Amino acid sequence: MLTLPHSNPKLPSGVCIYRLSGITISLRSLSMRVAVIGCGIIGAAIAYELSLVTGLKITVIDQQPPAQGATGAALGVLMGAISKKVKGRAWQLRKTSLQRYQTLIPELEALTGHQIPSNRNGILKLFFPGEDLASWEKLVETRYSQGWHLEIWDAAKIRPHCPQLSTDKIIGAIYSPQDGQIEPTALTKTLVAAAALNGVTFNFGYAVEGVLSRFSDNLNLHTCHHIYTDVGKLEVDWLVVAAGVGSSQLITLLQAQLTKVIDEPSATSAMPSYNQEQNNTGALIGNKPTEAMQFSTTPPLMIKPVLGQALQLRLEHPIGYGDFQPVITGDDVLIVPVGKGEYWIGATVEFPNNVGDVVAEPILLEKVRQQALSFCPALAGAKVIRTWSGKRPRPQGHSAPIITQLPGYSNVLVATGHYRNGVLLAPATAQAIREIITAAKC
Tell me the per-residue pLDDT of 106-165, one tens digit each, with 9 for 90 and over.
999 999 999 999 999 999 999 999 999 999 999 999 999 999 999 999 999 999 999 999
Task: Find the mean pLDDT for residues 68-94.
Answer: 98
Please tell me the distance from the alpha carbon of residue 300 to that of residue 281, in angstroms, as a whole number: 19
Among the ranges given (7-21, 226-240, 313-327), the one the predictor scored with the smallest mean pLDDT = 7-21
All structural domains of the chain, each given as residue ranges with its CATH number in brackets, are 31-117+181-301+398-442 (3.50.50.60), 118-180+304-395 (3.30.9.10)
Query: What pLDDT was estimated at residue 357?
Result: 85
Report whether pLDDT(100) > 80. yes
β partners of residue 327 = 123
Q: What are phi and psi of 80, to 5 degrees?
A: -105, -70
Task: Find the mean pLDDT for residues 294-318.
Answer: 83
Q: 300, 387, 289, 378: which is closest to 345 by C-alpha?
A: 387
SS3 letters for 88-128?
HHHHHHHHHHHHHHHHHHHHHHHHHCCCCCEECCCEEEEEC
Q: 116, 120, 106, 38: which is closest to 77 by C-alpha?
A: 120
Task: Find the mean pLDDT for residues 339-348.
Answer: 97
Using DSSP bridges, classify how beta strands 172-176 and 151-153 pair: parallel, antiparallel or unpaired: antiparallel
- Residues 23-62 as b/e (b if ≥16 CB within 10 A, e otherwise) read eeeeeeeeebebbbbbbbbbbbbbbbbbbebebbbbbbbb
Contact present, 243 and 70 (Cβ < 8 Å): no
User: Confidence band (pLDDT; 50, 70, 90) for 22?
Assistant: very low
Query: What pLDDT was estimated at residue 5?
Result: 44
Q: 191, 194, 193, 175: which is closest to 183 by C-alpha?
A: 191
Single pTM value for the model: 0.86
Other Cβ atoms less than 10 A from the Cβ of 11: the count is 13
Please tell me the distance from the alpha carbon of residue 176 to that of residue 123, in angstroms, as a whole number: 5
User: Confidence band (pLDDT; 50, 70, 90) for 442?
Assistant: low
Question: Dihedral sign, CA of 276, 279, 283, 288?
Answer: negative
Mean pLDDT of all residues belonging to the chain: 87
Q: 235, 298, 241, 299: which is closest to 429 by C-alpha?
A: 241
Contact present, 180 and 336 (Cβ < 8 Å): no
Query: What pLDDT was estimated at residue 30?
Result: 61
What is the DSSP code (8-state) at residue 87? S
Contacts of 308 (CB under 8 A, 6+ apart): 73, 346, 347, 348, 349, 350, 389, 390, 391, 392, 420
Quick: pLDDT tens for 363-410: 999 999 999 999 999 999 999 999 999 999 999 989 999 999 999 999
The percent of residues in the chain predicted with pLDDT above 70, rounded, is 83
Report whether pLDDT(288) > 70. no
Quick: pLDDT tens for 177-205: 999 999 999 999 999 999 999 999 999 99
Report whether pLDDT(167) > 60. yes
- State in Å, rounded, how far the first CA of the chain is from the last one: 19
Q: 110, 73, 65, 42: which is closest to 202 by C-alpha?
A: 65
User: Confidence band (pLDDT; 50, 70, 90) for 49?
Assistant: very high
Query: What pLDDT was estimated at residue 10?
Result: 39
Contact present, 14 and 28 (Cβ < 8 Å): yes
Report whether pLDDT(302) > 60. yes
